[in-house]
Amino acid sequence: MSLEGRSIGVAFTGSFCTYQKSIPQLKGLAAAGVKLQTIFSEAAQKIDSRFGAPEEFLRQAEEITGCAPFLSIKDAERIGPAALFDVLVIMPCTGNTLAKLANGITDSPVLMAAKAHLRNELPLVLCMASNDALGMNMKNIGLLLNAKNVYFVPFSQDDPVKKPNSLVAHFELLQDTIEKALEGKQLQPVLR
């Protein structure tokens, strides 16, 4: 299945260490002919980290997509009524975002984007990066694995010795996951 001509939202949260994997995937979607719109959480917009300044990530996103990112709950709220996307991707999806999504909390542009998009019964793809996924967040992963229209980019432990509760998606499987999600299927195996 080709993704050319599809409209995809890509929402960024605060797992800054995985932006080095996220930005190339955003470029790959653009190269595939996808119409892209980014959404940034408050943390992704404002926190300077050892991995870079938020202004740089916002600039890169606008350069790749050709449009300004959505930066507020108000911006994201229109996603549902306007049916803006065929698919919404949260990449990276932090443990905090997973927990809030699983429990119906809508307090950021990214979570509002997810809520607004899911009301249209369209695929939401989660590209997880969480240090507590096999700890406190495991129950939320279980809830979301069983949620209608929610799909995970396959994931595995990234450092089982130093970070035994950490799971990170295989970002390189994003486009394959999106294609399957558009068919209403989860790319398997989800645990790698």
- The DSSP string of 1-59 is ---TT-EEEEEE-S-GGGHHHHHHHHHHHHHTT-EEEEEE-HHHHH--BTTB-HHHHHH
What is the arithmetic mean of pLDDT over 132-141?
96
Question: pLDDT tens across 97-129, in order?
Answer: 999 999 999 999 999 999 999 999 999 999 999
Question: pLDDT tens across 56-83, in order?
Answer: 899 999 999 999 999 999 999 999 999 9
**Residue of higher predicted confidence among 15 and 38:** 38
> How high is the pLDDT of residue 15?
76
Indicate the pLDDT class of residue 184, thresholds 50, 70 and 90: very high
Is residue 191 included in any domain, yes or no? no
Cβ atoms 30, 65 nearer than 8 A: yes
> How high is the pLDDT of residue 153?
98
What is the arithmetic mean of pLDDT over 85-95?
97
Is residue 135 included in any domain, yes or no? yes
Is residue 192 included in any domain, yes or no? no
Is residue 128 included in any domain, yes or no? yes
Is residue 93 included in any domain, yes or no? yes
Per the prediction, the chain carries an average pLDDT of 95
Residue 138, judged by CB atoms within 10 A of its CB (0-12, 13-18, 19+), counts as: middle
Is residue 79 included in any domain, yes or no? yes
Q: Specify the DSSP class assigned to residue 166.
A: -
Is residue 99 included in any domain, yes or no? yes
Q: What total of structural domains would you count in the chain?
A: 1
Indicate the pLDDT class of residue 51, thresholds 50, 70 and 90: low
Distances in Å between the alpha carbon of 15 and those of 1, 9, 66, 168? Answer: 30, 18, 23, 10
Is residue 51 included in any domain, yes or no? yes
ω into residue 92 within 30 of 0, thus cis? Answer: yes
Residue-range definition of the domain harbouring residue 150: 7-182
Least confident piece of the model among 15-29, 158-172, 178-192: 15-29
Indicate the pLDDT class of residue 179, thresholds 50, 70 and 90: very high
What pTM, to 2 d.p., does this model score?
Answer: 0.96
H or E element that contains 63: helix 54-65
| CATH assignment of the domain containing 75 | 3.40.50.1950
Compute φ and ψ for 60, nearest 5 degrees. -60, -45
Compute φ and ψ for 36, nearest 5 degrees. -115, 145
- pLDDT at 17 > cutoff 90: no
First to last CA, the chain: 23
